[in-house]
Amino acid sequence: MRHILILYRPSEKRGGFAQAVCKIPKQIKRHKSRSCTGGVFFITRCTFSDYYQTFENQTGRLKKYGAQEHAMNTANKTLSFEFFPTRTPEGRDKQTAVREKLRRFNPAFFSCTSGAGGSTREGTLQTIADILAENTPAAPHLPCIGMNEAEIHTLLDTYRDMGVRRIVALRGDMPSGMGASGSGLRYAAELVELIRHRYGDLFRIEIAAYPEYHPQARSAAEDTAHFAAKARAGADSAITQYFYNADAYFRFVDDVRTLGCTIPVVPGIMPVTGFAKLMRFSDTCGAEIPRWLRLKLQSYADDTESVQAFALDVVTDMCARLLEQGAPGLHFYTMNQSALPEEICRRLGFGA
């Protein structure tokens, strides 16, 4: 669903563009513009195919009339993008190029994941150093499982000295074959407390949120209580696990607000690059793929181009709804690729 903004002034002579406007199909909504005077109207929220068929077929000269894709007001909305460490010089160069493309959207920060038990620690440090060298705020993931307190302090000191001022504080997953953590920290809330106690307000702390609940949660109430504990420990804002059901996000935000949590909760967005890959990720992290979406994507079989094109419209429409109904911004899980996040941001009007 793209957002099309078309301005027109009704007149007695309804030819060309004005005539096309009067024959718009029912699925396109027409509204009186409060920001315009003299009978100017605008049309918004229609699919590009509806828009094209209506105005191109009626007028035959779409561009002549200056119709344009609608850019919603994104002035107070933030964007951020997540990467994972690469293992080769070629991968590092590619990631640099990807970040360069995404930087045009003026991101609040680029984040970088860290493997279980610090398995990718050197790669994370290198990626964070690269991001900072590009004069962009960087936010490394910091999982506390598999690290003792001394290691956590040392790593935080390193990040501080590098110029990092934002941390994504996580519990993390226990690496396979590793015994109990010697850090004494079992929950992300304890990590947030540790950071605040030692570093005060030096770091802005991001925490994780799960609109469809953590896969290991025993109940919805338990999961929201864990989130509230992290927020009260001193977190500044939260980033959600990805989802494809906007209602799950709004319901989660309502639930944590009733617990007194007022920190911003930024939706995590995963563009769909392929059906099989999406299913693998979702099975691992507990993200739900709505049945209608799963069946539709599955119907394209190995037609990756059709999968991406359809999912792009679905995800963009969801992002538009999230922003329109109060989400403070969007956090993209890029998978170290720029094309789909770029297109979604462009459609929404970022970087215009």
Closest listed residue to residue 108, CA positions, set 242, 239, 262, 246: 239
pLDDT for residue 175: 60
pLDDT in the model for residue 48: 40
pLDDT, residue 284, reads 87
Q: What is the pLDDT of residue 178?
A: 55
Q: What is the pLDDT of residues 8-32, one digit of tens each?
A: 444 444 444 444 444 444 444 444 4
Are 244 and 293 a contacting pair, CB within 8 Å? yes
Q: What is the CATH number of the domain that holds 332?
A: 3.20.20.220
pLDDT in the model for residue 251: 98
Structural domain span for residue 164: 78-173+184-348
- pLDDT at residue 176, as a whole number: 57
Q: What is the tally of structural domains in the chain?
A: 1
C-alpha gyration radius of the chain: 23
Task: Tell me if 34 is assigned to some domain.
Answer: no
Q: Is residue 11 part of a domain?
A: no
Residue 266, C-beta contacts closer than 8 angstroms, at least 6 positions apart: 78, 80, 237, 238, 239, 240, 327, 328, 329, 330, 331
Residues that are catalytic? 82
- The answer to whether residue 14 sits within a structural domain is no
Q: Which three-class secondary structure state does DSSP give residue 240?
A: strand
* Residue 337 domain flag: yes
Residue 52 lies in a domain: no
Predicted local distance difference test score (pLDDT) of residue 179: 53
Distances in Å between the alpha carbon of 154 and those of 74, 141, 198, 313? 38, 15, 12, 44
Q: Are 329 and 238 within 8 A, CB to CB?
A: no
Residue 115 confidence (pLDDT)? 79
| pLDDT at residue number 1 | 42
Is 310 a domain residue?
Answer: yes
Considering the domain boundaries, does residue 59 fall inside one?
no
Q: Any idea of the CA torsion for 90, 174, 219, 331, to the nearest 10 degrees?
A: -20
Distance CA(79)–CA(268), nearest Å, equals 10
Weakly modelled stretches of the chain, pLDDT under 70 = 1-72, 116-119, 174-184, 352
Q: Residue 33 domain-assigned? A: no
pTM strictly above 0.85: no
